[in-house]
Structure 1
Amino acid sequence: MIQIETLATRVSGLYAALEESGRRAIEALRQTDPALVDVLVGAFESEAGASAWLASRTTGFGGRSALELLAQGERAQVVHVLNHLRYGLCA
């Protein structure tokens, strides 16, 4: 059982680091792309929800995170998905 407890503690730490990365990404985007932050927060109705989504990998992005796509210059794809989530727009 000790191994499970150790792994659970490690996973908890990883999730905390992921949440912190999302918050830091929102702060960085606030400086470089405030319009995108507005779209993110509008889609999730909270900064916490937006930052969690930003850092989480999703099947909609082929197992990548929105943050990874933004780093690769794929802002339009991220905005497209955000608009779909917010307004139910179809491609």
Structure 2
Amino acid sequence: MTSSDFNPLDPLTAHADRLYSDLEDTGRRAMEALRRIDPVVIEELVATFESEDRAARWLTSRTIGFGGRSALDLLSQGDREEVMHVLHHLRYGFCA
């Protein structure tokens, strides 16, 4: 394939880049909203991940621990305790 050939993966790569960017933006917006409505969750997120960016990414990532859902999904459904429980285990270990 030469540089002038069309690569069918290029548009998909660009689309994936936009999706990741949108997801990062959603994570930041979720952190801002949580800061107003539940600052204790924000404190635990930042303490656990030692970075607002990493905390925001985790908040929007679907995980096996949440049955393929994200922490943001659970928080929006009122399941704060499960999120806090997992954050506690991530921060202190399962034996703490």
TM bucket, shorter chain: over 0.9
Aligned equivalents of 2:7 and 2:78: distance in 1? 43
TM-score of the pair, normalised by structure 2: 0.90
Query: After the TM superposition, which segments of 4 or more aligned residues of structure 1 sit over 4 Å from their partners?
Result: none
Structure 2, unpaired ranges of 5+: 1-5
Pairwise CA RMSD: 1.3
* Richer in strand (by share): 2
Give 2:92's aligned residue: 87
2:45 is the alignment partner of 1:56: no
CA distance in 2, matches of 1:33, 1:2: 46
Following the alignment from structure 2 to structure 1, what is the Cα–Cα distance between the partners of residues 94 and 44?
A: 14
Aligned residue type for 1:82 = L
* TM-score after normalising by structure 1: 0.95
Instruction: Give the corresponding residue for 1:31.
Output: 36
Structure 2: how far apart are the matches of 1:28 and 1:72?
15
Larger Cα-atom Rg: 2
Task: Give structure 1 stretches of 5+ with no counterpart.
Answer: none
